[in-house]
Amino acid sequence: MIWSRRSLVFWYYVINERNLTNILVNANHEKNTGIYIHIPFCVKKCAYCDFYSITDLEIIPSFVQSLVREVKMVDAPVSDVDTIYIGGGTPSLLNPENIGCLIDTICNRFCVISASEITMEVNPGTVTPEKFAGYRKAGVNRINIGVQSFSDQSLDFLSRIHTADDAVCCIKDARRAGFENIGLDLIYGLPEQTEKTWRFDLESALKFTPQHLSCYMLTYEPDTPMTMDLMYKRFKALSEGKTGALFDFTARFLEENGYLQYEVSNFASSIKTRSSHNQKYWSNVPYIGLGPSAHSFIDNCRSWNVRSVNKYMQRIQAGQRPVAETEILDTKQQMMEVIYLRLRCVEGICMADFETRFNVCFNQSFGHVVDLFESKRFIKIVDGHCRLTSSGMRFSDSIAARFIEEI
């Protein structure tokens, strides 16, 4: 199986529901805390999506009040904060005043450093030039746009609410509002997709010289309308071989155009424009998740909030934190997490750090697995790091699973 945005979410759930040592850039990102805010509202559910969101938009104002209260309730000892990520759902359904209020509350509650990366996810069809200007004034300095495709036919299949023209307008409006750090999300592996049609999406995206691109493979999540249609044979999924070829093509094509893959699904125009926030998820760095279904990770303790807006608001109104469950990761779980998440990243696993942290000899534990995948050219050892080659990236989860068998 190829890694996708869904696979990352899988880890949020499996390690218990979207950092590992030695991220080479911005050393402080290894220590500072990241804050994720989940805005669980969408105009309409997309057929492929299993993220938690609802379509009752009337409760947004009271929900924002609950979120503000949750920020104030956080009692964990937290290091300086240097990333805030407002994701969803569709955060751009909130007006700039709401976003400003949330950012201000976070800045009052935590020590947020001045150069923090403050990202907001935006969906075409839900945002105007005035809203972009307001978000910027509120403190947002990085915009991630859920374009998904520049083909109306593909957008229709994905049941997105927007057209390709809406996506183009959205990107242009964001630039005109002064956002210099823009990321675009795209989805590939749609039925009958060819290298030519996927190339059209990539080329269309590159015309706007985005700083960041996330290319997610379409996955069929249980119980989504799209998966039901697939089961009832209303369409045929693209074969694994063809999807894999598109995966390889993506990395090659983007590299030729100046974007470097730094994680299985993520590409940046430079080291500086990598997503600092998302890198925390792939390292051993604390992050706090606020809002329904959001996950937190602090000192090997993972917790997650209730996955219901109503229950979430009821808990907050009763003065209780909306945490559904908490789990302390044991050593084996920590090792699994390091292997799975670090192998997703181009830097790979720093073997010395691994040995120090877990008091094991990396070679003794995993030497023959490394040999096996080195012989297939899926793994290479570089500067004391065990990392996947570009061909290995395609199989990162199954390779990681083989490592984990040895723990």
| Min CB(268)–ligand SF4 separation in Å | 22
Instruction: Give strand pairing partners of 266.
Output: 214, 263
Ramachandran region, residue 22 (left: φ > 0; alpha: ψ -120 to 50; beta: rest): left
Q: Which one among 36, 51, 262, 287 touches ligand SF4, defined by CB under 6 A? A: 51
H/E element, 32: none
| Distance of alpha carbon 265 from alpha carbon 28, whole angstroms | 23
Segment contacting ligand SF4 by CB under 6 A, of 38-46, 107-115, 228-236, 351-359 = 38-46
CB 243 within 8 A of CB 292: no
Question: Per DSSP, what are the bridge partners of residue 33?
Answer: 81
Q: Out of 88, 289, 348, 392, which residue is the one contacting ligand SF4 (CB under 6 A)? A: 88
- List 23, 37, 42, 345, residue binding ligand SF4 (CB under 6 A): 42
Binding mask 92-131 for ligand SF4 (x = CB under 6 A): -------------------------------x--------
> Interaction with ligand SF4 in 252-281: which residues (CB under 6 A)?
none
C-alpha Rg value of the chain to the nearest Å: 21
Sole binder of ligand SF4 in the list 2, 49, 170, 187 (CB under 6 A): 49
Residue 162 Cβ, how far from ligand SF4 at the closest point, in Å? 9
Bond before 289 cis per omega within 30 degrees: no
Separation of alpha carbons 20 and 41, rounded Å: 31
Rounded Cα distance, 81 and 286, in Å: 10
Q: What's at 15, amino acid-wise? A: I
Q: For ligand SF4, which is the closer residue by CB, 143 or 285? A: 143
Cα(390)–Cα(182) distance, integer angstroms:
25
Beta carbons within 8 Å of 91's beta carbon, 6+ residues apart: 37, 39, 99, 120, 121, 122
Residue type, 234: R
53 binds ligand SF4 (CB under 6 A): yes
Q: Is 45 in the site for ligand SF4 (CB under 6 A)?
A: yes
By C-beta, is 23 or 127 nearer to ligand SF4? Answer: 127
- Is 90 among the residues that bind ligand SF4 (CB under 6 A)? yes
**How many residues in the chain?**
407
Query: Does residue 154 bind ligand SF4 (CB under 6 A)?
Result: no
- Toward ligand SF4, which CB reaches closer, 46 or 171? 46
Does residue 89 interact with ligand SF4 by CB under 6 A? yes
Task: Mark the segment that binds ligand SF4 (CB under 6 A) among 15-23, 39-47, 66-74, 168-176.
Answer: 39-47
CB of residue 401 to ligand SF4, shortest distance in Å: 27
Q: Where on the chain is the footprint of ligand SF4 (CB under 6 A)?
A: 42, 45-46, 49, 51, 53, 88-90, 123, 146
